Amino acid sequence: MTVSTARARQLSKAWRSLITAHPARTVVMAFAAVIVLGTVLLMLPVATQGQAPADLLTALFTSTSAVCVTGLVVVDTATYWSGFGEGVILVLIQVGGFGIMTMASLLALLVSGKLRLRMQLTAQAETKSLGIGNVRRVLIGVAGTTLAVELAVGAVLSLRFRFGYDRSIGDSVHLGYFHAVSAFNNAGFGLHADSLVGYVGDPWVMLPIAAAVILGGLGFPVLLELLRHRERRRTTGHRNWSLHAKLTLITTAALLAAGTLLTCLLEWTNNGTLGPLDWPEKLLAGFFHSTMTRTAGFNSVDIGAMHAATLLFTCMLMFVGGGSAGTAGGIKVGTFAVLAVAIIAEVRGEPNSAVLGRKLAPHVLRQALTVALLGVGLVMAATLALLSTTSLPFEKVLFEVVSAFGTVGLSTGITADFPAAGQLILILLMFIGRLGPVTLVSALALRERARRYELPEERPVIG
C-alpha cells in the first residue's frame, strides 16, 4: 500500500467518522445534502416555465424552504416553476417533513427487513422515539399515518375543486394532493399567487387543510400514541396518556383557541382582512389563521394588511410552533408548556416543577430554557442583521425572521424584496429552525464532555 493510498483511506475514515459519530450530525448532513440535490434539480432548464433556468440563489432558497417545510418563496410557485419543478418541490416537501433519516431507515427496513443499530439510533434522533426497540414501530406508524392523512385530505380537496369550482379532473387532483401534502407537512407551499385567499369562506377547503396542519403539527409520537391508546381502550376500557401527549394536546388546543380569539378581536373590522366577511366566515378565517401559526404557512387573508398588534401575537404563536418530532417548527409547544409550568412553580415558591401529577426532571427544564433562549437569540441576531441590509419596516422584518426560524412560511409579502445577503440569512434561519438549535449544536460538537467532579455551590443575586 502506497503512502498516498493510506493517507486517502485515513482521510476517508476521518470524514465518515465526522459525519456518523453522532446521529444528530448525520441528520444535519443528510438535510444539507438533500437541499443541495434539490437546488441542482431546480436549476435545470426543465424546472421553469419557459424562462431562463433559475439562478443559484432562487433555486437554493426554494429548495431550502421545501426541505425545511417552510413555504417562504421569492418567486410564485404556480407561474415560475414548471410541472417538473413543482414535482421536485413536492418531493422535497415530503422528504423534509417525513425526515431524511426516517425515510432512509424505512427504506432499509423495507429492503432488508431489519435495521442496524446505527440506523436505529439515527432514526431515534429524528423521530424522538423513547427507545431503540420502538424505532421499527415508529417508522411503520409514521409512514402509515402520513399516507392515510394525505390520501384522505387530498381526496376531499380534489372532490371539492372538481365539483365546487368546476375544474378538470386532472387539475383537481393536482391541486388537491399538492395542497394535502403541503398541509400535512406544514410546508405552506400553494399553487395560487394569493395562497388560499380565494377560498376564505369555503369550509370544504379551509377545514381539511387545517385538520392536516394540526395533525402534522402534533408530532408523530402523539399521533401514534393516540392510535395505540384507541386500540387499548377498545380492548381494556382504559386510556392512560403520557405526560408528553397531555401537554402537547392541551397546549395546542389552548394556543389555537387564543389565536382564533385574538385574530377575530383585532381584525374583525379591518377592511383589508376580516372586515368584508360575514361573521361565520370571520370565525373560519380567524381559526384558519391561528392554525397556520402552527408553522403551516397558508393564508386566507392578506397578511400584509393586518394590524401591527396582530402581527406581533402571530410572531409569538409562530415562535412556539407545534409538537415535537412532527412536521412543525418553532421551539415546540412542549418547550413552551414546560417553561410555563416552571414559572408558575417559581411564583408559587414550590421547590419542584410539577404538572398533571408528575414532577419534571431538572434536565428537562434546562433543555427547555436552552432551546427557548437560543431561539430568542437567533431571532434577535437575524433581525438585526436584516435591518442593516434593508430599509423595510421593523415589524415586517421581525415577522419574516420569526416565520423563517419557525419554518412557518407566512409572509407580509417582502421575502423577494430582501437583497441576496438577506435571503441567505433567511436560508440559514430555515435550516436551523427545521433541525432545531439543540440538534444543530449537538451535531457540530466534536465530542460529548462529561464533568467528573462537582463544584462548590453558590447562589448569585437574581433580579
**In 3-state terms, what secondary structure has residue 325?**
coil
CB proximity list for 377: less than 8 A, separation 6 or greater? none
**Distance between CA atoms of residues 72 and 241, nearest Å:** 36
Task: Specify if 459 maps to a domain.
Answer: no
Task: Specify if 226 maps to a domain.
Answer: yes
* Residue keyed to cell 464532555: 449
Task: Specify if 287 maps to a domain.
Answer: yes
Which cell is 94 given? 415530503
**Distance between CA atoms of residues 431 and 31, nearest Å:** 8
CB 440 within 8 A of CB 405: no
The DSSP annotation for 121-146 comes to HHHHHHHT-SSGGGHHHHHHHHHHHH
**Distance between CA atoms of residues 398 and 410, nearest Å:** 12
**Distance between CA atoms of residues 387 and 383, nearest Å:** 6
Task: Specify if 454 maps to a domain.
Answer: no
CB 408 within 8 A of CB 297: yes
Q: How far is CA 289 from CA 200, 284, 442, in A?
A: 10, 9, 34
Q: Which domain holds residue 132?
A: 19-444
Which cell is 317 given? 404563536
Which cell is 430 given? 430555515
CB proximity list for 21: less than 8 A, separation 6 or greater? none
CB proximity list for 198: less than 8 A, separation 6 or greater? 192
Q: How far is CA 213 from CA 314, 326, 387, 391, 435, in A?
A: 16, 10, 31, 34, 19
* Residue keyed to cell 402509515: 144
Task: Specify if 1 maps to a domain.
Answer: no
Tell me the torsion sign for CA atoms 164, 168, 169, 174.
negative
Task: Specify if 453 maps to a domain.
Answer: no
Per-residue pLDDT at 12: 56
Per-residue pLDDT at 142: 79
Task: Specify if 2 maps to a domain.
Answer: no
Task: Specify if 76 maps to a domain.
Answer: yes
CB 409 within 8 A of CB 436: no
For the chain, 463 residues long, give each residue's pLDDT as a single digit of tens: 565 666 666 655 554 554 445 566 677 788 899 999 999 999 999 999 877 899 999 999 999 999 998 989 999 988 899 999 999 999 999 988 887 556 555 555 555 555 555 556 566 555 555 555 566 676 777 788 889 999 999 999 999 999 999 999 999 999 999 999 999 998 889 888 888 999 999 999 999 999 999 998 888 778 878 777 655 555 555 567 788 888 899 999 999 999 999 999 999 999 999 999 999 999 999 999 999 998 888 999 999 899 999 999 999 999 998 887 778 888 889 889 999 998 988 888 887 787 877 888 787 888 888 889 989 999 999 999 999 988 899 999 999 999 999 999 999 989 999 999 999 999 999 998 888 765 655 554 444 556 677 778 777 877 7
CB 210 within 8 A of CB 318: no
Predicted TM-score of the model (pTM): 0.86
**Distance between CA atoms of residues 262 and 36, nearest Å:** 40
* Type of residue numbered 80: Y
Number of domains into which the chain is organized: 1
The DSSP annotation for 222-273 comes to HHHHHHHHHHHHHHHS-----HHHHHHHHHHHHHHHHHHHHHHHHHTT-TTT
